[in-house]
């Protein structure tokens, strides 16, 4: 069964879910925006019979502490520091990485720092290629180059209730997506002060794009087994981002599913089976 825990990391009360036997190989699940480890609620039981599964919430997300901006810098480098310290505290010496959305730049930072720890990578709409950036990113890149308060405020729509709901529903068949996920995310994103923290991260995303060449170099040099399983109807991270892994990892396994950004909401069983087969085929 899945159990629920808190652990203090550098003054942050980090919430995480875990399931499975600690003696088995580890899978570290890294969530995206605007969600939390709750997104893995259906996947974790599928993996836990064969693996030890760990899924933390980041600072400012889910049930982890959301410190004030004056006390905590909301950047991807800083959040990665917290996740790295969390991994060390739990003594996770070897693990498969599951990276989704924001989890990709965080997970690849971890991988570059400790390549010896990464047994495999599962990317579910976790992009590290310019080919995978949907149309909205061109505007964001222009705004990063010429930032103004007006442009910053325009991104408040990213965590508006209707936007979050549409992120779950876009690209999916009618009546396939439970409202539980987006309703919870709307509640998390609506907490006082959270808007400015999320705007900080949206602005800092430019540093993830700048790191894409380094992430790709890591793949070429280390050649980790990689499974890309994407909702092909995602408008944020389009399927070309999944196919691009073949450039650096010719043996990577690519699956495009008829779903959207949050593919686990509609295809958790299929994604779970693909992960189990992929890991077993790679001796993990």
Note the pLDDT tens digit of each residue in 118-132. 999 999 999 999 999
Q: Find the mean pLDDT for residues 32-59.
A: 98
Confidence (pLDDT) at 7: 98
| Residue partners of 89: CB distance under 8 A and separation at least 6 | 7, 9
Q: Exposed (0-12), middle (13-18) or buried (19+): which is 65, by Cβ within 10 Å?
A: middle
The answer to whether 61 touches 35, Cβ cutoff 8 Å, is yes
Q: What is the pLDDT of residues 191-200, one digit of tens each?
A: 999 999 999 9
Q: What's the pTM?
A: 0.97
Instruction: Report the share of the chain in percent with pLDDT over 70.
Output: 100
- Tell whether the torsion through CA atoms of 254, 259, 261 and 265 is positive or negative: negative
Q: Catalytic: which of 31, 38, 261, 267? A: 261
Beta bridge partners of 226: 121
Helices (H), the chain: 43-47, 76-89, 103-113, 136-145, 149-154, 161-169, 180-189, 194-210, 212-222, 240-243, 245-248, 264-281
Q: What is the C-alpha separation between 107 and 101, in angstroms, rounded?
A: 10
Residue ranges making up the domain that contains 113: 3-281
Q: Number of folded domains in the chain?
A: 1
Mean pLDDT within 40-63: 98
Neighbouring C-beta atoms of residue 255, cutoff 10 Å: 17
**Average pLDDT rounded to a whole number, residues 58-65:** 98
Both structure tokens of 206 = 């430019």
What is the mean pLDDT of the segment spanning 226-230?
98
Is 31 known to be catalytic?
Answer: no
Tell me how far apart the alpha carbons of residues 284 and 282 are, in angstroms, rounded to a whole number. Answer: 6
**118 DSSP β-pair partners:** 95
Residue 271: predicted pLDDT: 98
Residue 136 pLDDT more than 90?
A: no
Q: Are 59 and 83 in contact (CB under 8 A)?
A: no
How confident is the model over 74-88, as a mean pLDDT?
Answer: 98
pLDDT of 215 above 90: yes
Cα–Cα distance between 271 and 227 in angstroms, integer?
10
Which strands sit side by side in the sheet containing 95-99, from one edge to the other?
A: 3-9, 12-19, 52-56, 26-30, 95-99, 118-123, 226-231, 253-257
Q: Transcribe 34-46 into DSSP letters.
A: S--GGGGTTHHHH
For residue 41, give the CATH number of its domain: 3.40.50.1820
Q: Which two tokens stand for residue 47?
A: 């993996």
Can the peptide bond before residue 137 be classed as cis, meaning omega within 30 degrees of 0? no
Cα separation, 142 vs 231, in Å, equals: 27
């Amino acid at each position: 069964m899945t159990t629920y825990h808190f652990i203090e990391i550098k003054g942050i009360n980090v919430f995480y879910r875990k399931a499975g036997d600690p003696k088995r190989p580890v899978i570290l699940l890294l969530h995206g925006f605007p969600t939390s480890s709750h997104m893995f609620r259906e996947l974790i039981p599928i993996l836990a019979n064969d693996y030890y599964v760990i899924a933390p919430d980041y600072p400012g997300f889910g049930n982890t502490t959301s410190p004030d901006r004056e006390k905590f810098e909301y950047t991807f480098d800083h959040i990665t520091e917290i996740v790295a310290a969390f991994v060390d505290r739990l003594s996770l010496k070897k693990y498969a990485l599951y990276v989704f959305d924001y989890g990709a730049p965080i997970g690849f930072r971890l991988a570059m720092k400790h390549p010896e720890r990464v047994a495999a990578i599962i990317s579910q709409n976790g992009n590290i290629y310019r080919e995978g950036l949907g149309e909205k990113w061109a505007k964001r890149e222009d705004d990063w180059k010429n930032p103004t308060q007006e442009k910053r405020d325009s991104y408040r729509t990213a965590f508006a209730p209707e936007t979050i709901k549409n992120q779950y529903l876009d690209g999916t068949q009618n009546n396939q997506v439970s409202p539980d996920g987006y309703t919870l995310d709307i509640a998390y994103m609506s907490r006082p002060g959270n808007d400015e923290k999320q705007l900080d991260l949206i602005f800092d995303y430019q540093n993830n794009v700048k790191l894409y060449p380094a992430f790709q170099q890591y793949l070429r040099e280390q050649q980790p087994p990689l499974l890309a399983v994407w909702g092909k109807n995602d408008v944020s991270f389009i399927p070309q981002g999944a196919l691009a892994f073949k450039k650096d990892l010719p043996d990577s396994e690519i699956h495009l599913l008829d779903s959207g950004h949050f593919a686990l909401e509609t295809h958790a069983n299929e994604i779970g089976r693909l992960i189990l087969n992929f890991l077993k085929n790679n001796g993990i």
